[in-house]
Amino acid sequence: MNLARSYLFVPGTNMDIIKKAVLSNADSVILDLEDAVALSEKESAREIVKESLIRFGNEKEMIVRINDLDTPFWEMDLKCALSSGASGVMVPKSESFHGIRSVCNKVREFSSNHSRPIQVIPLIETAKGIQFAHSIATSDKLIARMAFGSIDFSLDIDCELTPNGLELLFARSQIVIASRAAGIGSPIDTVYPELNNETGLENDAKLAKQLGFKGKLIIHPKQIQAVHQTFSPSKTEIDQATAIVKAFEEAENNGIASIEVNDQFVDYPVYKKAKSILFHTNS
């Protein structure tokens, strides 16, 4: 099964918006109980999230972003999500091995009757989270992949967000490398906040893809198409991968492991990359 490319955030307070998100082309929907919900609305939001999961949980992968571990809300959020059939939970401001391990232990406690595995997605959005990304990624087998939150991260380190994203290069790369070293799925890139800047979104997504991210958090359905286009192989890439795999396997059968295909040098690493493109395209 392909990893999701788009993760659409929706506030856990509005059933109509949740329904529209479910009917959209987003690969996954994140029901938000954290930043999008006022303190006074946390309890009522849980009831709406619970109803939404029961109504729509079989139609779309649905993940619940719980409140962070320094609040009194996260365990109630977790119980709400898991008792109602969520596919997974996103843990904001993930900063430590022990914090994520505590969440995963609670996930097992609350989901003992689940018929499908629950994915836990740490959201890395602080300097501590970046510093301990590998520890977080290896904290438990329930960790599916990590995600990056650049807005909170920029506030934490007091940097200026710019269109070229240079200030985020190290943090993004750290998350990608930590994910790979831990043997978990490729990470999910941060949201792009400018809803009417499609070129900016495309450039941001392309940079993330170049660095090794395989999906992106989004905040509006109008961002879905650009994200899907970026994180899906183009016809040219698929055709080239097909040609590489066919030619290399023929050459390998004849004892050759270094060839040229359409002006591209091909050896085992290039062949494996081409195989990966075709696997994710066809799965």
Give counts: helices (H), strands (E), the chain: 12, 10
Share of the chain above pLDDT 90, in %: 76
- According to the model, what pLDDT value does residue 20 have? 96
Is pLDDT at 53 greater than 80 in this prediction? Answer: yes
Instruction: For residue 89, list its beta bridge partners.
Output: 64, 120
Smallest CA-to-CA distance from 230 within 245, 254, 255, 213 is with 213
Cα dihedral sign for 207, 124, 16, 5? positive
pLDDT average, residue stretch 203-214: 96
Q: Give the up-direction half-sphere exposure of residue 140: CA atoms within 13 A in the CB hemisphere.
A: 21
Instruction: For residue 31, list its beta bridge partners.
Output: 10, 64
174 — pLDDT class (breaks 50, 70, 90): very high
Is pLDDT at 183 greater than 80 in this prediction? Answer: yes
Question: pTM here?
Answer: 0.88
- According to the model, what pLDDT value does residue 282 have? 63
Residues of the chain with CATH 3.20.20.60: 6-231
CATH architecture of the region 6-231:
Alpha-Beta Barrel (3.20)
Pair 113, 83: CB distance under 8 Å: no
- According to the model, what pLDDT value does residue 1 have? 41
pLDDT tens figures, 58-87: 899 999 999 999 999 999 999 999 999 999
Segments of 176-252 assigned E as strands = 188-189, 215-218
